[in-house]
Amino acid sequence: MIVVVGSIAFDTIETPFGRRENILGGSAIYFSLAASILERVGIIGVVGEDFTDEYLNYLKSKNIDIEGIKRVKGKTFHWDGYYEYDMNQAHTVKTELNVFANFHPEIPANYKNSEYLFLANIDPELQIEVLNKFIRPKLVVADTMNYWIEKKMDKVLEVIRRTDVMLLNDGEARELFKTPNILKAAKSVLNLGAKVVIIKKGEHGAIMFTRETIGSDEPFIAPAFPLEEVIDPTGAGDSFAGGFLSFLSKSGQINETSLRKAVIYATVLASFTVMDFGPTQLDKVSYNEIKVRYNKLLSYTKFGKI
């Protein structure tokens, strides 16, 4: 089983293509729905009384273990935001932490031996708290966000030191290491201690750097899946993480070959997420549809020797 700690939310989202109010969201949700296509996922998180059995049952129906979801008095975390025409940047109208304000992760006993752990972009102090409670995961993947880089830089660096794979988007990477150059930022992540860093560049794809211990010191340049229409980018990064981790867990191997495949698999998952509001597409997408896009990316990037 893969374990994720992250937010469970009701989101209100506006993009140039429409508006949705109080739809299911949060990093742990996008991650789990993406990952559960290949593997069972356990969520560690907190919800309020408005997160009814209907939602919990929905997650259960999706190969997701809900034992780690604590339901407490109060309202579920709520994010209200919008995207403008270019959609690369989320603008927050308001964030209501609600029950998330006093969240301290409690880990069910049977989660503690999990080999694959994802620390979504929550407070880095909580990420560290979770990490300390796990026995010996085979692979820890962590994400963060600008907010934490600005507020708790030291703790973000500690997470990077202790994680195997660090996910960052390009803006975060540049901000974290005060350089416009992605390669330099990536090297800094590896020098801190992470074995792998993946810089996500939205519609421009992603670039992965690995330490030589993984068997390669080459970058892997991954395309994005080309789409004519992006309806709602919310959750793309978490879906990417879910695809990535579930692919590695399924393959059971962590080497340059499996990591590269996992990045492409992750890219495809993210490409489905952004085609509709919230996790609508993640709910529907089949492994076969994912495979079709994976194969297209193989074909779209192929070129011969000279």
Residues lying near its own copies in the complex (CB under 8 A): 85-87, 180-184, 201, 203-205, 207, 218-224, 226-230, 247, 257, 260-261, 263-265, 291, 294-306
Distance from C-alpha of 28 to C-alpha of 45, rounded to nearest angstrom: 8
Least distance (Å) from its own copies to the CB of residue 249?
14
End-to-end CA distance of the chain: 45
Closest of 106, 96, 45, 53 to residue 75, by C-alpha = 96
Contact at 8 Å (CB) between 10 and 25? yes
Least distance (Å) from its own copies to the CB of residue 188?
12
Nearer to its own copies, 22 or 88 (CB): 88
Nearer to its own copies, 140 or 297 (CB): 297
Nearer to its own copies, 112 or 204 (CB): 204
Least distance (Å) from its own copies to the CB of residue 288?
12
Alpha carbon 223 to its chain centroid, in Å, reads: 18
Angle (nearest 5°) at CA 230 between 226 and 234 = 115
Nearer to its own copies, 84 or 125 (CB): 84
Least distance (Å) from its own copies to the CB of residue 219?
5
Look at the alpha carbons of 6, 220, 267, 181 in this order and tell me if their dihedral is positive or negative: positive
Least distance (Å) from its own copies to the CB of residue 151?
24
Distance from C-alpha of 151 to C-alpha of 153, rounded to nearest angstrom: 6
Beta bridge partners of 38: none
Distance from C-alpha of 17 to C-alpha of 8, rounded to nearest angstrom: 24
Nearer to its own copies, 93 or 298 (CB): 298
Element (H, E) at 117: strand 116-119
Nearer to its own copies, 64 or 297 (CB): 297
Least distance (Å) from its own copies to the CB of residue 162?
26
